[in-house]
A and B are shown apart, each in its own frame.
Chain A
Amino acid sequence: MKRYLFGIALIVAIIRPGVLQSQSISDLRINEVMLVNQSNYMDNYGNRSAWIEIMNLGYNKVNIANCYLTDNLNEPKKYRIPSGDPLTLIPLRQFVVFFADGITQHGASHLNFTLDSTKRFIALISPDAKTILDSITIPALKANTTYCRIPDGSDNWTISETTTPKSTNDVFTQKVSAGEKFRNFDPTGVIMAISAMLVVFSALLVLYRIFRTIGKINQRAVVRKQEKAQQPKIAKNEAETEISGEVFAAISTALYMHETESHDRESEIITIQRISRHYSPWSSKFYGLRQIPTRTVMHQQKK
């Protein structure tokens, strides 16, 4: 029992709750915030206001509906993001923007509070209204500048004059491929060769160890099975010793007769059932011949 409990505990330890939530609202981050919007991003009504960009860091769609946005942690349920709006479904690695303009009648993306140079706190709360998914206190910002994470979703917050609502904050950072990064540390490729071979060897080594063990266990099981199968045979042999002499005599007589009596192999079948051969012109050879082939006739024709 203890062993089972240990196994369950191990599985629970491996599959941590954090991992289970990985394709969920825990992937949401406040990614970029603008407080003073004078000549920047406009909403569908042509108005400019403070805005908050939220990013889905995961590799699956996340529904943000029923989460809360607030500027005061004492009021975690200040603005509930409504459900049923296509805006609330954020595709993988994509963004959604909310306008902190206090005009909720303009749609689900318009909050019921405002942000400005004095109100500089924003928090994203989970639907249970208790778990803070993300929160940030924004420093004082000049007009048309944002406070954003570079790279997206990272812990590195920066004040940026380049604003990127609904798109990545990494646009101006130089893209270096993974291969080039690797080359910087390993220009000759030797480290790659060693580390990769270690992984290949360890993978196949573990597979080898497992199958050696399985093989041994299996062989033992086969031997045990064979031993078990032999036991009734021995018992049977013991039973055979008790067979009476008449049986042996009968077998010996049969063998003797088989060896001494010489007779041909018969093709017929011996039966006690009545056999009758019915006449039919279809099976008659006589009717099948068009001309009776006699030797005399043949000679005469040759002559």
Chain B
Amino acid sequence: MENTGFFSFLLDNLSQFYSYTGFANFTLGHGIMIAIGLIFIYLAIAKEYEPMLLVPIGFGIIVGNIPFMPGYQLGVYEDGSVMNYLYFGVLKGVYPPLIFLGIGAMTDFSALISNPKLMLIGAAAQFGIFGAYIAALFFGFSPEEAGAIGIIGGADGPTAIFLSSRLAPELMGAIAISAYSYMALVPVIQPPIMKLLTSKKERVIRMKAPRQVTKLEKILFPIVGLLLTTFIVPSGLPLLGMLFFGNLLKESTVTKRLADTAKGPLIDIVTILIGLTVGASTQATTFLTPKSIFIFILGATSFVVATTTGVLFVKFLNLFLKEGRKINPLIGNAGVSAVPDSARVSQVVGLEYDKTNYLLMHAMGPNVAGVIGSAVAAGILLSFLS
């Protein structure tokens, strides 16, 4: 009799334990998301597509989709859980400005300063953001959601996370994953568009070597850049302020230790946290929705529009430039701020047509201008829609 009682007690406990396990709470959604996480990790390790981002995000997706019984402060959306505390930095837009600090400390704006008209290409590529905004409104998204989706076209992960955390936090996971996925796919998406929109003659245009930039100009750039852009769009201050501050740390040359920390350990720590928590925020229940599919489609659209407008704008600009001062339209794609991937694409495609025409340094100009442009665009969306 006692034995029966003991076994039933044991069975009860075991069945209760089983109800807590991942096996008992597993759904097809969890399986799909874990598979997506594994694909991300595969792409990062085997294909080396943005490994610094895709490994933390991919692993975060797996972490966020381990099935469990709710109510035990485990999940990223459960108050008081460790993941929830870490996710706070994403939700409140703390991490993206810190990443911008690191980006500022590692970015050399010389190419842009030596040929400032390249800034306009960085502005032109922001059409992708607003093209996607229009498309998202057409598909029935609210203006706030449309703004957050549109920023994918800026090709800037931290900006996308920052803006979506303010405008549409519920879509942040899908937007961040979409933005980083397309950034990793820049070498696949951009070249066909660039080739389609340019003639052979245009692709071999040789640009004048950039002049040497003085230290004074390099120091003035972050100060003037900050004052000007944030006076026009104060809502972009968290991103632009940190970007230019990081750059001043680098260019002043007297704060080498701070610059080294910003572009080294700090950005690494924040990248780990942001990657893991954004990945973990893609729980099957919130991520696997028709909206996410639309977000991916619109994200691709915005990338295509951004690349197209960047290239076409250079062609337009060339109409007014004298022979010898013309810009190779293959650097137009670099207006999207996927640094330095899109500039590298310009270089690779350029070398296909002329083995001695190195476009990398020229493409870095619009590339870093794109970072400023997308942060300004995010500020505008924020001030209009929040």
In whole angstroms, what is the CA distance A201 to B381 when docked? 15
CB distance from A11 to the nearest CB of B (A): 14
Contact A189 B373 (CB under 8 A): no
A189: which of B137, B229, B377 is its contact (CB, 8 Å)?
B137
Instruction: Report the minimum CB–CB distance from B119 to chain A (whole Å).
Output: 4
How far is A192 from B381 in the complex, measured between Cα atoms in Å?
9
Residue of A nearest to B112 (CB): A211
Interface 9-residue window, one of B67-75, B139-147, B346-354: B139-147
Q: Quick check: is B211 within 8 A (CB to CB) of the other chain?
A: yes
Q: Does A183 contact B (CB under 8 A)?
A: yes
Contact B214 A197 (CB under 8 A): no
For residue A84, CB closer than 8 A to chain B, the reply is no
Q: Which residues of A contact B87 (CB under 8 A)?
A: none
Contacts of A201 in B (CB 8 A): 120, 123-124
Listed stretches A95-103, A164-172, A174-182, A257-265; interface member: A174-182
**A179/B126 contact (C-beta < 8 A), A189-B146, A211-B224, A219-B211 known:** no
Chain B contact residues: over half helix, strand or loop, or mixed? Answer: helix
CB-CB under 8 A from B127, the residues of chain A are 193, 197
Of A197, A202, A219, which one neighbours B130 at CB under 8 angstroms?
A197
Are B386 and A200 in contact, with the CB atoms below 8 A? no
Asked whether B316 is an interface residue with its Cβ less than 8 Å from the other chain, the reply is: no
Knowing A182-B143, A193-B130, A204-B122, say if A211 contacts B116 (CB, 8 Å).
yes
Q: Mark B85-126, 1 if CB is under 8 A from A, else 0.
A: 000000000000000000000000000111011011011101
Please measure, in the bound complex, the distance between the C-alpha atom of A227 and the C-alpha atom of B137, giving whole angstroms: 60
A193 vs B225: C-alpha distance when bound (angstroms)? 23
- Determine if B113 and A199 form an interchain contact, defined as CB atoms under 8 angstroms apart: no
Say yes or no for A224: interface residue by CB 8 A criterion. Answer: no
Contact of A211 among B138, B146, B167, B221 (CB under 8 A): B221
Give the Cβ gap from A148 to chain B, nearest Cβ, in Å: 27
* A139 touches B (CB below 8 Å): no
- CB pair A189–B130 under 8 Å, yes or no, is yes
A101-156 at interface with B (beta carbon < 8 Å):
none
Q: How far is the CA of A54 from the CA of B305 in the complex (A)?
A: 51
A7 within 8 A of B: no
Of B144, B384, B386, most A-chain CB atoms within 10 Å: B384
A189 touches B380 (CB 8 A): no
Q: How far is the CB of A194 from chain B (nearest CB, A)?
A: 8
| A180 proximity list for chain B (CB < 8 A) | 142-143
Q: Which residue of A lies closest to B369 (CB)?
A: A204
Bound CA–CA A82/B224 (angstroms): 46
Q: Does A1 contact B (CB under 8 A)?
A: no
B216 at the binding interface (Cβ < 8 Å): yes
Assess whether A183 is in contact with B137, with CB atoms less than 8 Å apart: yes
- Residue numbers in B under 8 Å from A199 (CB-CB): 232-233, 376, 380
Establish whether residues A218 and B120, one from each chain, have CB atoms under 8 Å apart when the complex forms: no
Bound together, the chains give a CA A189 to CA B146 distance in angstroms of 9
Instruction: Give the CA-CA distance A8 to B229 in the complex, in Å.
Output: 23
**B118 to nearest A CB, angstroms?**
8
Nearest CB on B from A137, distance (A): 37
Q: Is the CB of B376 within 8 A of A203?
A: yes
Mask for B325-338, Cβ within 8 A of A = 1, else 0?
A: 00000000000000
Instruction: Number of A interface residues at 8 Å Cβ cutoff, please give it.
Output: 32
Contacts between the two chains (Cβ within 8 Å), count: 121
Contact with A along B221-241 (1 / 0, CB 8 A): 100110011001100000000
* Contact status B228-A203, CB under 8 Å: yes
Give CA–CA (A215, B369) in the complex, Å: 17
CA distance A190 to B143 in the complex (A): 12
Q: Which residue of A lies closest to B386 (CB)?
A: A178
A263 to chain B, nearest CB (A): 46
Distance of A203 Cα from B374 Cα, bound (Å): 12
- Tell me whether A210 is interfacial, beta carbon within 8 Å: yes
- Residue A197 contacts which of B126, B233, B386 (CB distance < 8 angstroms)? B126
- Is B131 engaged at the interface, CB distance under 8 Å to the other chain? yes
List residues of chain A with CB within 8 A of the CB of B147: 179
- Assess whether A200 is in contact with B380, with CB atoms less than 8 Å apart: yes
Residues on B with C-beta less than 8 A from A193 are 127, 130-131, 133-134
CA distance A178 to B167 in the complex (A): 11
Cα distance A69–B46 in the bound complex, in angstroms: 74
Asked if residues B130 and A192 are in contact (CB atoms below 8 Å), the reply is yes
Are A196's CB and B377's CB within 8 A?
yes
Chain A residues within an 8 Å CB radius of B377? 196, 200
With A192-B133, A203-B232 as contacts: A179 and B143 at CB distance below 8 Å: yes
- Separation of A265 and B95 alpha carbons in the complex (Å): 64
User: Chain A 205-242, CB within 8 Å of chain B: the 1/0 string?
Assistant: 11110111011001100100000000000000000000
Per-residue contact bits, chain B 125-161, to A (CB 8 Å; 1 contact, 0 not):
0110111011001100011101100000000000000
B373 touches A215 (CB 8 A): no
* B220 part of interface (Cβ distance < 8 Å): yes
Q: Is B217 in the interface zone, CB < 8 Å from A? A: yes
CA distance A193 to B150 in the complex (A): 11
- Chain A residues with CB under 8 Å of B124's CB are 201
Q: Which residues of B contact A178 (CB under 8 A)?
A: 384-386
B184 sits at the interface (CB 8 A) = no
Given contacts A183-B143, A188-B138, A211-B221, 7 further A-B contacts (CB under 8 A): A189-B134, A193-B133, A197-B126, A207-B116, A207-B229, A208-B116, A218-B214
Residues of B within 8 A of A (CB): 112-114, 116-117, 119-120, 122-124, 126-127, 129-131, 133-134, 137-138, 142-144, 146-147, 167, 211, 214, 216-217, 220-221, 224-225, 228-229, 232-233, 369, 372-373, 376-377, 380-381, 384-386
In the A-B complex, the 3 residue pairs with the smallest Cβ-Cβ separation, listed nearest first, are: A179-B143, A193-B130, A189-B134
Could you show 12 A-B contacts with beta carbons less than 8 Å apart?
A182-B143, A189-B137, A189-B138, A193-B131, A197-B130, A200-B123, A203-B233, A210-B224, A211-B224, A212-B117, A215-B114, A215-B217
